[in-house]
Amino acid sequence: MDEIIYSKYSNERSRSFAIRTDILEGANGLYVEKKALYPEGQNHVEEIFRWYEELTEAYKEIGFYCNRCEKTDEGIRLEYLEGQTLEEALDDLLEKGNTEAARAKLHDYLLLVKKLYDKEPFQATEAFGNVFGKEKVPEGMTCAGLTNIDMVCENVVLTQPPSILDYEWTFDFPVPCQFVLYRIIHYYINTHSVREILKEEDFYREFGITEEMKEYFGEMEVHFQEYLTQGHIPMREMFASMTPGVGNVELAAGEQLQIFFMTDGGYQPENSRSWPILNNRISCTVELPEGCPMLRIDPGDQPCAVHLEKVLFDGKPASLKGAITPEGVISGKWAYLAKNDPNIVNLPVPEGAKKFTISMEVYPGTRELVAAACETGRENRMLKTRLSKVPKIIWSMRNSKVWDLYKKYLNKTERK
């Protein structure tokens, strides 16, 4: 029987869009499955296969393709692609100081997307208004008949030819080409301070995205998120109105991620590499020394909660089984590390692995706060899973009425 090695529940959407995504390993390697969480979402999942067929044809114009998709009895199965993403390639160039090469690479990709969607003048339709709002539309925008709005850099895998992942949000009515370009620029440059050297305003000007358009696209994004939830209120939007007892957890200045490579002498500073943690985030790829059996990951010097967005060896999801968290616990994609000099020790390196990639968010807190999350995770395996879904600062309200309301909310949704 094939083994599930990763699951993600997109359950902060309306029932029409709530899905489960699994990465599984079978005799022929890894693959991805998507299933609707509720009957109302079955049509949404089946449409992804339709988008695969239509986008595969459309992408031929720019020499791209979609990862393969096929229907199953319960949903769809998708090809699991290995390789560096455009986001990772751009980050590597910036890390090495090759700013102009990174700028040129992003520019070339934007030109291809513009070629794909810059077909005719844009005119808002009723279907467009239902998803993206009915505000007055700026002049000068263009469009195509079929648009995948989520062509952001992390969804581009640099295979030969390059591949576009995650085409779930494709629409068969006109959507402004400039909106797709805006999302690519904004969600790459604005999500990490190191990337700001690329100067998003230069890209906006070059691709004809005016100040009026940027303001309009912000409204479009808000309406799109409302369309996804359709009456369902995500927890991230509930707690501010429930209680004034919100405790923000901020990153201390000067924190670094340090990765140690195990040798015969254990974990030694001379056999490690460090990267600054900026704006609560760090993403890096490192070459592994030959024969290295295990890694130690140190996310700063303070007790913290760590959201493990990506942990990969040679592009494949890493197994955290066997890793040790002194005075801590791993719960889903979260690690709660309550000691000073927190660390995850003895992360096993697969035999022959050449590269290690990690992307994480780090949220330092008091020793007592993180220890409470650890203890709760040990007491109740189900609650450990719940904690991995808790918004990033909500555990700081465990003694307030919002925590009780949140637990009732979880119980209610799990019974559905």
User: What phi and psi, each to the nearest 5 degrees, are found at residue 261?
Assistant: -105, 125
Do 358 and 227 share a structural domain? no
Q: Let me know if residue 413 belongs to a domain.
A: no
Q: Let me know if residue 399 belongs to a domain.
A: no
Do 174 and 107 share a structural domain? yes
Which pLDDT score is estimated for 67? 92
Cis peptide before 161 (omega within 30 of 0): yes
CA-based radius of gyration for the chain: 22
Domain end (from 187, 207, 237): 237
Domain end (from 47, 79, 111): 79
Do 100 and 140 share a structural domain? yes
Domain count, the chain: 3
Do 263 and 357 share a structural domain? yes
And the tokens for 60? 């031929």
The backbone region for 339, taken as left when phi is positive above 0, alpha when psi lies in -120 to 50, beta otherwise, is beta
32-54 pLDDT, tens digit per residue, is: 999 999 999 999 999 999 999 99
Q: Let me know if residue 19 belongs to a domain.
A: yes
Do 228 and 200 share a structural domain? yes
Do 37 and 112 share a structural domain? no
Which pLDDT score is estimated for 378? 41
Q: Let me know if residue 140 belongs to a domain.
A: yes
Q: SS3 of 195, please? A: helix
Which pLDDT score is estimated for 374? 65
Do 167 and 265 share a structural domain? no
Q: Which residue has the tokens 């189900």?
A: 382
Q: Let me know if residue 414 belongs to a domain.
A: no
Q: What is the mean pLDDT of the chain?
A: 82
And the tokens for 337? 């590390």
Which pLDDT score is estimated for 158? 95
**Which residues partner with 305 through β-bridges?**
336, 363
- Round to whole Å and give the CA distance between 133 and 124: 10
Q: Let me know if residue 69 belongs to a domain.
A: yes
Do 232 and 98 share a structural domain? yes
Which pLDDT score is estimated for 70? 95
Q: Let me know if residue 198 belongs to a domain.
A: yes
The range of the structural domain enclosing residue 160 comes to 86-237
Do 60 and 95 share a structural domain? no
Strand 304-313 with 316-317, pairing? antiparallel
Do 206 and 124 share a structural domain? yes
And the tokens for 376? 């709760």
Length of the chain in residues, anyone?
416
Check which CATH number belongs to the domain holding 316 and give it.
2.60.120
14 DSSP 8-state letter = -
How large is the angle between the packed helices 211-229 and 177-189, nearest 10 degrees? Answer: 90
Which pLDDT score is estimated for 377? 44
Which pLDDT score is estimated for 82? 85
144-183 pLDDT, tens digit per residue, is: 999 999 999 999 999 999 999 989 999 999 999 999 999 9
Q: Quick one: how far is CA 122 from the chain centroid?
A: 30
List the alpha helices (DSSP H) in 68-140.
86-95, 99-117, 126-132
Do 280 and 137 share a structural domain? no
Domain end (from 79, 94, 120): 79
- pLDDT in tens for each of the 416 residues of the chain? 788 887 888 777 888 998 999 988 888 889 999 999 999 999 999 999 999 999 999 999 999 999 999 999 999 999 998 889 999 999 899 988 999 999 999 999 999 999 999 999 999 999 999 999 998 999 999 999 999 999 999 999 999 999 999 899 999 999 999 999 999 998 898 777 678 889 888 999 999 999 999 989 988 988 888 888 876 555 444 444 444 444 444 444 457 899 999 988 788 888 999 888 877 788 888 999 999 999 999 998 888 888 888 999 998 888 888 888 888 888 778 888 888 889 999 999 999 999 999 998 888 776 766 776 665 544 333 333 333 444 434 444 444 444 455 444 444 444 44
Do 145 and 26 share a structural domain? no
For 286-306, b/e burial (b = at least 16 CB within 10 A) is eebeeeeebbbbbbbebbbbb
Which pLDDT score is estimated for 373? 63
And the tokens for 303? 């007790």
State if pTM tops 0.75: no
89 DSSP 8-state letter = H
Question: DSSP labels for 148-180?
Answer: ES---GGGEE--SS-EE----SEESS---HHHH
Strand 355-364 with 281-287, pairing? antiparallel
Q: SS3 of 325, please? A: coil
Please provide the distance, in angstroms rounded to a whole number, between the alpha carbons at the two ends of the chain. Answer: 28
